[in-house]
């Protein structure tokens, strides 16, 4: 291990580690959007009139949020093949990436279900009455009024979770997935552990840049949405009808 810190090595290593970034982005994007779809289902169950569905959704959300993602990755990686083998299904040949995506998806669904629920709850219930007063159908009400307004509330939370998920993907390296963190570990091993601190700093800079890019994109979209939804036509018409 080097006794001195060499900043030049940090910038020399960054281009080499960038080759592992696509895997990290894949481990972020797929669980994010698969988790969003599953989270929408969990949210619907959470808001269901059926007690059994509500109980299951509440238990699922609490369980995913109350246990560390690292344990969830290990449980899926080691436990799922054992469970499915009892039913004659052998998945031992599956890629480690698949197990990482599955575990991160299940975890994402719990958080995104709550973000979705709070986003829709933030929309004033009077919007339904206003839309009905000008003859809009329930489908049009959701498509043109409720969802656009909920989306503005949802987007910042979604982005914050995406940044958190980006960092959580580093845990996939512990089951052998060669993402940015796994690639960094392999690179340090190949160089016999020299300049560990510089290599880790290089990885940290890449994570920081991607996270900052996500934040900038979200702020831009949020600001554009704020400008485009000021006093929409349906709001003016609803105001006329109600007054």
| Residue range 106-141, pLDDT digits in tens | 999 999 999 999 998 888 877 777 777 777 877 788
Q: Tell which wins on pLDDT, 104 or 150.
A: 104
Model pTM score: 0.86
By C-alpha distance, which of 158, 206, 152 is closest to 179? 206
Q: How confident is the model at residue 143 (pLDDT cuts 50, 70, 90)?
A: confident
pLDDT of 2? 54
Please tell me the predicted confidence (pLDDT) of residue 229. Answer: 52
Cα 20 versus chain centre, distance:
20
**Does 53 score more than 80 pLDDT?**
yes
**For residue 195, is pLDDT > 50?**
yes
Token code pair at residue 91: 């998945």
Structure tokens at 141: 């009400």
Nearest CA among 131, 113, 126, 122 for reference residue 149: 122
Q: What is the pLDDT of residue 3?
A: 62
pLDDT, tens digit, 9 for 90 and up, residues 202-239: 999 999 999 999 999 988 888 887 655 544 443 444 33
Whether the predicted pLDDT of 163 surpasses 90: yes
Q: Which of 9-13, 35-39, 217-221 has the lowest mean pLDDT?
A: 217-221
- Token pair 């829709």 is found at 120
């Amino acid at each position: 291990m080097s006794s001195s810190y060499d900043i030049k090595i940090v910038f020399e290593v960054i281009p080499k580690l960038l080759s592992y970034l696509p895997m990290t982005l894949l481990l972020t994007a797929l669980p994010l959007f698969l988790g969003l779809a599953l989270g929408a289902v969990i949210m619907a169950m959470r808001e269901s009139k059926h007690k059994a569905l509500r109980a299951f959704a509440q238990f699922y959300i609490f369980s995913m949020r109350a246990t560390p993602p690292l344990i969830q990755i290990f449980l899926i990686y080691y436990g799922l093949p054992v469970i499915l083998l009892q039913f004659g299904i052998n998945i031992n040949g599956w890629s480690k990436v698949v197990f990482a995506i599955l575990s991160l998806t299940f975890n994402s669904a719990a958080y995104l279900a709550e973000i979705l629920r709070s986003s829709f709850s933030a929309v004033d219930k009077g919007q339904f009455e206003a839309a009905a007063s000008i003859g809009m159908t329930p489908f049009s009400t959701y498509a043109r009024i409720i969802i656009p307004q909920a989306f503005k509330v949802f987007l910042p939370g979604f982005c914050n979770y995406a940044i958190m998920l980006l960092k959580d993907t580093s845990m996939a390296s512990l089951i052998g997935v060669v993402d940015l963190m796994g690639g960094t570990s392999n690179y340090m091993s190949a160089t016999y552990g020299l300049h560990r601190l510089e290599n880790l700093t290089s990885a940290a800079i890449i994570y920081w840049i991607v996270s900052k890019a996500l934040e900038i994109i979200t702020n831009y979209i949020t600001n554009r949405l704020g400008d485009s939804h000021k006093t929409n036509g349906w709001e003016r018409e609803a105001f006329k009808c109600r007054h």
